[in-house]
Amino acid sequence: MPRRAMLGLPGVLAPGLAAAQAAPEVDLLLVLAMDASGSIDSDEFRLQREGLAESVTHPAVLAAIASQPRQAIAVAVVEWGSPGGAATVVDWIAVRDAASAAMLAVALRDAPRSRQSYNAIGDAIAHATALIAAAPFRAEEKVIDVAGDGPDMRSILPAPEARDRAVAAGITVNGLAIEVAPVTRRGEALRATYEREVIGGPGAFVIAAETRQDFARAMRAKLIREIA
């Protein structure tokens, strides 16, 4: 039967539509975009990874997930830095309970560090936007978390433009500013730069970590706010 005729029959779906309807539904699609640029040394990188693993398994985060209608979120983790070089280091995992959160934490700890340099935040947002579009889950709420210790520097697609494209696709972009330096080159706090250039969408916000050791606390607070 010709494809056009098949698409016109009741109960026959186009392959893409059928796949979308078959995808499991969750409360939130969340991409955690983590800074792996040259400014992050091995000890600092370990602190970020451990802080993120601790956050996704924290009882308060699990309680936030359980409070939602479907009691599930889907999470992917991206590392960024190099222009056009953002990499997915943990592909989509559904988190529904302590066991699945522990699986995500193990995947985080075991994933090799990607090779990154510079601070290409715009390209990270673009990569995360495409990752959400191709997710094997469906959700009304879609969020990209950008965590970093510096401003956008050498993106192929500048951060404000990438942010605007993500927002146009129904995605909220939030920020976690690791303020290890008192001000950026523009003479402002990093959270102010993120507010202007990075975040966007309904309810978008920035949380600041005053030190790298404060990362886990800030990430946990951020996750709870986004989920609940």
Q: Where are the beta strands (DSSP E) in 26-156?
A: 28-35, 73-80, 87-95, 141-148
What's the pLDDT tens digit per position in 183-225? 566 678 999 999 999 999 999 999 999 877 889 999 999 999 9
Give the pairing type, strands 172-178 and 206-209.
parallel
Per-residue pLDDT, averaged over 69-82, amounts to 97
SS3 state of residue 109: helix
Q: In this structure, what token pair is assigned to residue 184?
A: 């950026």
Length of the chain: 228
DSSP H helices in 134-214: 159-168, 190-197
Q: What percent of the chain has pLDDT over 90?
A: 71
- Please give the residue that has the higher pLDDT: either 12 or 35: 35
What's the pLDDT tens digit per position in 29-57? 999 999 998 878 888 888 889 999 999 99
Q: In this structure, what token pair is assigned to residue 90?
A: 């943990």
pTM, two decimals, is 0.88
Q: What pLDDT, on a 0 to 100 scale, did the predictor assign at position 8?
A: 40
Q: What pLDDT, on a 0 to 100 scale, did the predictor assign at position 1?
A: 40
Per-residue pLDDT, averaged over 71-90, amounts to 96
User: Which range (17-21, 43-47, 123-127, 203-207) has the least confidence?
Assistant: 17-21
Q: What percent of the chain has pLDDT over 70?
A: 88
Q: What pLDDT, on a 0 to 100 scale, did the predictor assign at position 185?
A: 63
- Can you tell me the distance from the alpha carbon of 193 to that of 22, in angstroms, rounded to the nearest whole number? 40
- Can you tell me the distance from the alpha carbon of 46 to that of 7, in angstroms, rounded to the nearest whole number? 51
Domain edges within the chain: 24-227
Q: Where are the beta strands (DSSP E) in the chain?
A: 28-35, 73-80, 87-95, 141-148, 172-178, 206-209
Q: What pLDDT, on a 0 to 100 scale, did the predictor assign at position 6?
A: 35
Contacting residues for 105 by C-beta, under 8 A, at least 6 apart: 53, 54, 56, 57
Would you say residue 127 has pLDDT above 80? Answer: yes
SS3 state of residue 192: helix
Q: What's the pLDDT band for 83 if we cut at 50, 70, 90?
A: very high
Give the pairing type, strands 141-148 and 172-178.
parallel
Q: What pLDDT, on a 0 to 100 scale, did the predictor assign at position 183?
A: 58
What's the pLDDT tens digit per position in 135-146? 999 999 999 999
Contacting residues for 190 by C-beta, under 8 A, at least 6 apart: 149, 150, 151, 177, 178, 179, 181, 183, 184, 208
CATH of 24-227, picked from 3.40.50.410, 3.40.228.10, 3.40.50.11900, 3.90.1150.10, is 3.40.50.410
Q: In this structure, what token pair is assigned to residue 95?
A: 């988190």
Mean pLDDT score of the chain, rounded to an integer? 89
Per-residue pLDDT, averaged over 93-114, amounts to 96
How many CB atoms are closer than 10 A to CB 159?
Answer: 28
DSSP H helices in 169-214: 190-197
